Structure 1
Amino acid sequence: MSILALSIVNNHNTPVLIRTRNPKSESNNEIDLLFKLHSSLDVIDEKQLNRETFLGLLTQSDQYKIYGYCSATNNKILLMVANNQTIRDNEARAILKTLHNHFVDCTTSNPFYVHGQPIHSKHLMRKIDEIFG
């Protein structure tokens, strides 16, 4: 599976972690990916009514699909995958649940982490790199 980008957004819709496939590149393509991820937050508000954590497919185009996950504390995880890859809902659910578990472990194990602030954790970045493949 080809994951293009992911974003963890706090309950005030402010990104606390953004990761793209190639984090070192500062190109318009990366900015475009991040814009598409952020624009899918509007769909989350509509889908939150069913009170389930996995929100499923939020939006898609010819190049990408964006899946969403919303925790009980209203933190959101957005996962963008390439559209040329076949991904089932249960695979996206498993990836997002794993990311959420790593996010919770990272934020709760650090007594100096302030909720809503950007995350700077080498452990979490290693886990995300494993998911990116």
Structure 2
Amino acid sequence: MTDPASPPLPRTGPDPLDQVFAALADPTRRAILSMLLEDDMAVTDVADPFSMSLAAISKHLAILTRAGLITQEKRGRVKWCKLDPDALRAASVWMQSFGQFEAVNLDAFERFLETELAAPPDRPGDTDT
């Protein structure tokens, strides 16, 4: 609980991490970032795989640009998009600040499933006596 005598610190603007995570929350924007991992792309090429208008894709690109995840540059008459890894790096550093989480032991889980699947199912009325 906060102390009512001390007011909260004023925010100087939107937190960049808030913008990054908000941008990453949308599956279309994550797909766009995955596409840009391979190479820079023209906006029209980014839009091709999606069944939405160029205007809708442009809105997604604007959100990614505001979050600092991509940059857009006009070359001639074509607008190009390029991944900017710095914002992702900041988000990754923030997530890593929580420390290492214990990894799931998938081998033990697989053995458990094999044992469970190999055992005959219990039937109502069956007793072991």
TM range (shorter): under 0.3
The answer to which structure has the higher helix fraction is 2
Q: Which has the larger radius of gyration?
A: 2
The TM-score, its normalising length taken from structure 1, stands at: 0.26
The TM-score, its normalising length taken from structure 2, stands at: 0.27
